[in-house]
């Protein structure tokens, strides 16, 4: 995990919790309109991946229990985890790439509606991703994965002074490289081959030599639109198009996207496909359905997008007609730590990952609301362009005073809490009823994130070992952790 050179341990901020009367007068609990939908407050639970679906992407009872527990806290809106739009295997993540997933998704919608008494609106995040392979064993990489070329043979000939490498059989080249030193290997392989050896093979939107990557602009609008139609058929109140972090659409927006087909280079070209996807989705679901977007206020990687790019994209998204803009920060592959052999690279281990999910171990600036100043700049740009599209701020937001100040200052229109809502799904109800002193405060150690990295069912260290004998609860496969937070009377 990426670390600060001189880290500072920041305490969880103290707060004075409001009375019920004060909460009722606060901006946090005032209604807001997002497109055709009215939220009864400005409280939001962003998408989190809980690793509870089947290996085939179907809704399970554990999924239903997970979302039911959040809904019982009655946030104004709840965004269902990043859900795959293709009909391809993707592990225990929800999918919406075929109509066969609809019965389970409809049951999920009904579960949230019943648990929240219709108060919590339910959105679903739609995501596309490219291939990412596990880091291979060195011998296996050279024996099975590296494509031997004339460049390798020529380089070996130059390094060794032995011209027979130019006509050597592949097996000889592979066997020799498998035993070669790191220094020699680094001189023989190109940058992408070295990355595949050290981090695992990873596709990029710029790999246009691959037909399926080249054709993404022709394919993705329809796939996203089909998925959005299914979401509407399942009863979701809206969809959130995932254009953030380490996924396909973020790759198109990135300043690192140098495609030469009109979909890369200048930011006017980089935003082209995201807008085409939006228009296809909007045409499919109609104007009376919520379509939002999640994108990055800053990529936090060398050569990546910065706030000026994000402000430009925000204005373009508002102009196109998105019903809300939800902002995040970082979470990229480019600066991720090297994984162990047999594991996949994880995009939340470098500096960009820290900025996405900061912890109490931080720099002098501290972890709380770290992205809010960027969100405020994007909101200012959108408003200055004449649009009033609601803006969602997320990242290290934990107390009532902090959330209320963000809204009162005009830095954002809606406040999202993911890790704090995981720590205490009843945060919203407790604060609204004047019982904020009963809130279970997130300590921002990223225990939950470590479980996510290991693809284990996500829980919170503040409650997953509590009351394990409570009747009716579901435990993790090893029987050592409960999978949902304890009840609040």
Strand partners, 132: 202
Integer CA distances (angstroms), 117 to 43, 73, 120, in order:
16, 11, 8
Spatial contact of 410 and 365, defined as CB atoms under 8 Å apart: no
The separation between CA 269 and the C-alpha centre of its own chain, rounded to angstroms, equals 23
d(CA 176, CA 35): 62
Within 10 angstroms of residue 344's Cβ, the number of other Cβ atoms is: 17
Query: Which tokens sit at 22?
Result: 């004060």
**CA geometry: angle 83, 306, 409, nearest 5 deg:** 85
Strand partners, 78: 45, 122
Checking DSSP bridges between strand 77-84 and strand 43-45, what pairing results, if any? parallel
20's CB contacts (< 8 A; 6+ apart) are: 432, 433, 434
State whether the Cα torsion 425-429-432-434 is positive or negative: negative
Q: Which of 368, 356, 366 is nearest to 1 (CA)?
A: 356
Tell me the catalytic residues: 247
Helices (H) and strands (E) in the chain, counts: 20, 12
d(CA 82, CA 67): 14
């Amino acid at each position: 995990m990426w670390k600060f050179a001189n880290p500072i341990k920041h305490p969880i901020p103290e707060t004075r919790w409001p009375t019920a009367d004060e909460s009722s007068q606060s901006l946090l609990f005032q209604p807001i309109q997002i497109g055709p939908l009215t939220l009864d407050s400005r409280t939001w639970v962003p998408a989190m991946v809980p690793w509870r679906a089947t290996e085939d992407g179907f809704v399970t009872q554990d999924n239903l229990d997970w979302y039911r527990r959040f809904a019982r806290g009655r946030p104004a809106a709840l965004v269902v985890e990043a859900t795959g739009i293709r009909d391809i295997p993707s592990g225990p993540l929800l999918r919406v790439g075929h109509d066969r997933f609809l019965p389970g998704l409809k049951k999920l919608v009904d579960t949230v509606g019943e648990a929240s008494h219709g108060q919590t609106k339910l959105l679903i995040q739609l995501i596309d991703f490219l291939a990412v392979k596990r880091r291979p064993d060195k011998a296996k990489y050279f024996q099975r994965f590296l494509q031997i070329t004339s460049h390798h043979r020529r380089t070996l000939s130059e390094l060794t002074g032995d011209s027979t490498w130019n006509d050597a059989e592949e097996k000889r080249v592979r066997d020799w490289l498998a035993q070669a030193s790191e220094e020699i290997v680094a001189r023989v392989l190109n940058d992408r081959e070295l990355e595949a050896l050290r981090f695992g093979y990873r596709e990029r939107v710029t790999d246009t030599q691959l037909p399926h990557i080249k054709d993404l602009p022709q394919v993705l609008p329809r796939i996203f639109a089909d998925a959005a139609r299914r979401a509407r058929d399942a009863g979701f109140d809206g969809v959130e198009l995932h254009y953030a972090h380490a996924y396909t659409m973020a790759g198109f927006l990135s300043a690192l996207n140098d495609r030469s087909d009109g979909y890369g280079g200048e930011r006017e070209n980089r935003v082209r496909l995201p807008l085409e996807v939006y228009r296809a989705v909007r045409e499919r679901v109609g104007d009376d359905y919520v379509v939002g977007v999640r994108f990055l206020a800053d990529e936090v990687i060398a050569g990546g997008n910065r706030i000026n790019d994000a402000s430009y994209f925000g204005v373009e998204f508002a102009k196109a007609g998105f019903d809300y803009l939800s902002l995040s920060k970082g979470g990229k592959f480019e600066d991720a730590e090297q994984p162990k052999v047999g594991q996949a690279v994880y995009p939340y281990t470098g500096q960009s990952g820290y900025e996405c999910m900061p912890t109490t171990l931080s720099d002098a600036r501290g972890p709380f609301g770290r992205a809010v100043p960027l969100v405020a700049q994007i909101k200012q740009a959108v408003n200055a362009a004449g649009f009033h599209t609601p803006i969602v701020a997320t990242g290290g937001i934990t107390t009532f005073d902090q959330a209320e100040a963000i809204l009162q200052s005009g830095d954002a229109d809606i406040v999202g809490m993911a890790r704090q809502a995981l720590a205490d799904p009843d945060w919203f109800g407790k604060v609204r009823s004047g019982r904020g002193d009963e809130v279970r405060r997130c300590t921002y150690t990223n225990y939950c994130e470590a479980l996510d990295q290991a693809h284990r069912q996500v829980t919170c260290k503040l409650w997953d070992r509590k009351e394990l004998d409570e009747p009716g609860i579901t435990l993790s496969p090893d029987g050592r952790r409960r999978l949902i937070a304890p009840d609040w009377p």
